[in-house]
Amino acid sequence: MSAETAPQAVAAPQRAVTMEKIVNLCKRRGIVFPASDIYGGLGSTFDYGPLGVELKRNVKEAWWRDMVQRRTDVLGLDSAILQHPRTWEASGHLQNFTDPLVDCKNCKQRFRADHIQGDRCPECGGELTEARQFNLMFKTFMGPVEDTASTIYLRPETAQGIFANFANVIDTQRVKLPFGVAQTGKSFRNEITPGNFIFRTREFEQMEMEFFVKPDPAEEQSWFDYWVNERFNWYVRYGVKQDHLRLRPHAKDELSHYSRGTTDVEFLYPFGWGELEGIARRGSFDLDQHAKYSGKDLTYFDEEAKSRYRPWVIEPAAGVDRTMLAFLIDAYDEDVVEGETRIVLRLDPRLAPVKAAIYPLLRKGGQPEKAHEVRARLAPYFTTTYDQAGSIGRRYRRQDEVGTPFGVTIDHQTMEDDTVTLRDRDTTGQVRVPIAKLVETLTERIGWHR
């Protein structure tokens, strides 16, 4: 399937869920907090709470499992955030990683020129300055002397650490084209207008993979199509609805300085379509540049062709925070259970922060002790929680709201026959399961192997 013929959403459906609902739920339940809250906040920075950190780790782990561990042609890497400043000269980021910035002469607010329509201030209608290029890299100093020679940058993408290690990887691993090198990690961009919660922040996390192929247009095209298709379907496999996704090939004039062609996977957020991931053809741009700036040989020896060349690259580059937000949005649902409206996060069980909640039906008769015992049995395998406060219905609801897929209830019968009830978050249906079979049953129903 080529980018052009891949499934496109028919019409943009309206989202029932609002950002306000998501943001409130995230704050109320310890998924995402505004950062530096006790000092009044620090614009567009966020901290992930006890449940958010689990969800975020699960997103990264799902990506890592599918993009690295389960594949025979991709290896992992974890490079430093601080790279030699020459890296950013070579990569073109010092020169080209800029956004056009305009100021309102009246209210002094700043905007990205390519994000506003018309030539007046979108806030007050005032006159705007001419656009000037603003570099998005964060600068800092290495060591005690703060001068030009010690200036370094926080990486604006993880990709360059992969290119800088190209020779290290091919010299130490037995790799044959085509192969990929993947990494996840923090990146930093001094965005002019961050916003929309965790969609656009200045500190964020990326999941990137550089897939090296023979420098041949047909080979490049077929792997590009493969990765566009693969990445689109990955989101669907973990719960994003297909008609909330679309592919958008970039127009020539919006391509990044390194790209020969890019297709974005876009998601229908409550605020409109926005990029989730970009799949770019970087050609040999990066390896050529690093070879030139470092003087090192960054070629690959092709045994069959008996020739040396610098491979071309297909790069699927995704954002952890945006992906987590998309999963939260598409999981969010409200329905009526026993005459009461409940919020339920229908997260894929593999992504859910907590897999099972353990409840004693009553706070007596040995049930709480038994519940702790059951929890201790499950804890080596799954994230669990324990709750004995309030009616059982209220306790189920509390877990539905944060997407816990399974509830394990210890009741009177448990004390007699060592079985528990296992409740399903989505159907609210319950079945009786022997305690001895719980690990097996939950493993099966979480579906790690899918």
Q: Binding residue for ligand ATP (CB under 6 A) from 54, 210, 321, 400?
A: 321
As measured in angstroms, the least distance from the Cβ of 377 to ligand ATP is 39
Query: What three-state secondary structure class fits 31?
Result: coil
Shortest gap between Cβ of 115 and ligand ATP (angstroms)? Answer: 9
Smallest distance from the beta carbon of 263 to ligand ATP, in angstroms? Answer: 11
DSSP letters for 301-343: EETTTTEEEPPEEEEEEEEHHHHHHHHHHHHEEEEEETTEEEE
Q: To the nearest whole angstrom, how small is the minimum distance from the Cβ of residue 27 to ligand ATP? A: 19
Residue 322 within binding range of ligand ATP, rule CB under 6 A: yes
d(CA 206, CA 277): 10
Among 230, 243, 275, 302, binds ligand ATP (CB under 6 A): 275
235 touches ligand ATP by CB under 6 A: no
The answer to whether residue 201 forms part of the interface with ligand ATP (CB under 6 A) is: yes
Q: How far is the CB of 30 from ligand ATP (least distance, A)?
A: 21
Residue nearest to ligand ATP (CB): 319
One-letter amino acid at 89 equals: E
DSSP-derived pairing of the beta strands 307-309 and 300-302: antiparallel
CA 359 to chain centre: 32
* Of residues 189 and 397, the one with the C-beta less far from ligand ATP: 189
Q: Which stretch binds ligand ATP (CB under 6 A): 199-207, 289-297, 363-371, 406-414?
A: 199-207
Quote the DSSP letter at residue 195. Answer: B
- Partner residues linked to 448 by β-bridges: none
Q: Is the peptide bond before 349 cis (omega within 30 degrees of 0)?
A: no
DSSP element (H, E) containing 396? helix 392-400
Q: How far is the CB of 117 from ligand ATP (least distance, A)?
A: 17
- Residues for the chain: how many in total? 450
Q: How big is the chain by its Cα radius of gyration, in Å?
A: 25
**Helix, strand or coil, per DSSP, at residue 439:** helix
- Establish how many alpha carbons lie within 13 A of residue 306's alpha carbon, considering only the half-sphere containing its beta carbon: 0
Contacts of 258 (CB under 8 A, 6+ apart): 91, 92, 280, 282, 283, 285, 286
Asked if 52 touches ligand ATP (CB under 6 A), the answer is: no
Q: Which stretch binds ligand ATP (CB under 6 A): 16-24, 74-82, 232-240, 272-280?
A: 272-280
Does the protein bind ligand ATP through residue 189 (CB under 6 A)?
A: yes
**Would you say 322 or 425 has its CB closer to ligand ATP?**
322
Please report whether residue 206 would count as binding ligand ATP according to CB under 6 A: yes
Would you count residue 281 as binding ligand ATP (CB under 6 A)? no
Q: What is the DSSP letter of 69?
A: I
Residues numbered 118-177 forming contacts with ligand ATP, rule: CB under 6 A: 157
Q: If binding is defined by CB under 6 A, does position 66 make contact with ligand ATP? A: no
Counting Cα atoms < 13 Å in the Cβ hemisphere of 183 gives 16
Q: How many chain residues bind ligand ATP (CB under 6 A)?
A: 16
Q: Pick from 161, 178, 261, 278: which binds ligand ATP (CB under 6 A)?
A: 278
CA atoms within 13 A on the CB side of 126: 14
Distance (Å, rounded) from C-alpha 161 to C-alpha 77? 9
* Binder of ligand ATP out of 283, 319, 403, 405 (CB under 6 A): 319
CB of residue 409 to ligand ATP, shortest distance in Å: 40
CA distance 197 to 35: 11
The three-class DSSP label of residue 20 is helix
Window of 201-209, 296-304, 346-354, 363-371 that interacts with ligand ATP by CB under 6 A: 201-209
103 or 321: whose CB is closer to ligand ATP? 321
Residue 247 binds ligand ATP (CB under 6 A):
no
HSE of 192, CA atoms in CB hemisphere, 13 A = 20
In whole angstroms, the minimum distance from the beta carbon of 335 to ligand ATP comes to: 30
Which neighbouring-strand residues pair with 203?
188
Residue 184 within binding range of ligand ATP, rule CB under 6 A: no
Of 270-278, 344-352, 412-420, 431-439: span binding ligand ATP (CB under 6 A): 270-278
Give SS3 for 247: strand
In 154-216, which residue ranges form alpha helices assigned H by DSSP? 159-164, 166-172
Stretch that binds ligand ATP, among 51-59, 118-126, 316-324, 358-366 (CB under 6 A): 316-324
67 binds ligand ATP (CB under 6 A): no
- Choosing from 7, 33, 134, 191, the residue that interacts with ligand ATP (CB under 6 A) is 191
Q: Which residue, 140, 144, 169, 166, is CA-closest to 155? A: 140
Among 277, 286, 348, 387, binds ligand ATP (CB under 6 A): 277
Q: Which is nearer to ligand ATP, 198 or 354 (CB)?
A: 198
* Residues at the interface with ligand ATP (CB under 6 A): 157, 189, 191, 200-201, 204, 206, 275-278, 317-319, 321-322
